[in-house]
Amino acid sequence: MKVKVPNLENVLGMLRTKIFSWYKMAEEPSGVTFVQPELTVHTFRDKILNQDIYFQVIKLHESFIIWFGKSEKLGDLSVAMATLKGMVSAANLIGGMESHSVALAERLSKKTGKQVFIGGDMNSFDQLQYPLVEKRIMEEMTKHPEQF
């Protein structure tokens, strides 16, 4: 009786492919699944003193980041947060301490009790526009409180 001997090469080849696929499976970053984002990005625009101004609000946990500008420039960045009762401390991160973003962050943080980041190309605004921009942000806060 003749017994069919399996080709050794074939068996080895199959084994190799099997081991390679196991190895590949192990190399895949485990447990990376896409889920629904929780951070919300809210954008709006308005004409202030005949100029288009764009606003973007990123809502985070107990904090938010507001950017506003006339162009796509990030510009300055400041942060403010409530510390003790009624006290707010603010600091500039990009742009210099005399940047208008510091004072604005301070006021918004006092109002909301949250950590506030303000970004914007402050040099592109004139003196008359700052209070109007701030008013517009306050308006949006009362209109869409869930976005802040």
Partner 1 sequence: MAAPMSNENQHIVSSPDSFPVRTKQCAVEINNHKTELLCSQFGDRTFLVVTQYNKVGTLVSVTNARVTDATGATASMPNIDVLMGNDQPMTHVVARNLITQIPLSKPILLSIALKDNSPKTVKAIAKILPTLM
Q: What is the amino acid identity at position 56?
A: Q
Please report how close the Cβ of residue 14 comes to partner 1 at its closest, in angstroms: 29
Q: Judged by CB under 8 A, does residue 132 bind partner 1?
A: no
- Total chain residues near partner 1 (CB under 8 A): 37
Q: Name the token pair of 116.
A: 């506030």
Parallel, antiparallel or unpaired: strands 63-69 and 115-120: parallel
Query: Which residue's CB is nearer to partner 1, number 16 or number 45?
Result: 45
The answer to the question of residue 41 lying near partner 1 (CB under 8 A) is: yes
- 147 binds partner 1 per the rule CB under 8 A: no
- From residue 42, how far is each of 24, 66, 85 by CA, in Å? 41, 9, 30
The number of beta carbons lying within 10 Å of the beta carbon of residue 89 is 12
Q: Does 62 bind partner 1 (CB under 8 A)?
A: yes
Can you say whether the dihedral through the CA atoms of 96, 98, 100, 102 is positive or negative? positive
In the complex, the residues that contact partner 1 under the rule CB under 8 A are: 29-39, 41, 43, 45, 54, 56, 58, 60-63, 65, 67, 69, 71-75, 77, 79, 91, 93-94, 115, 117, 119
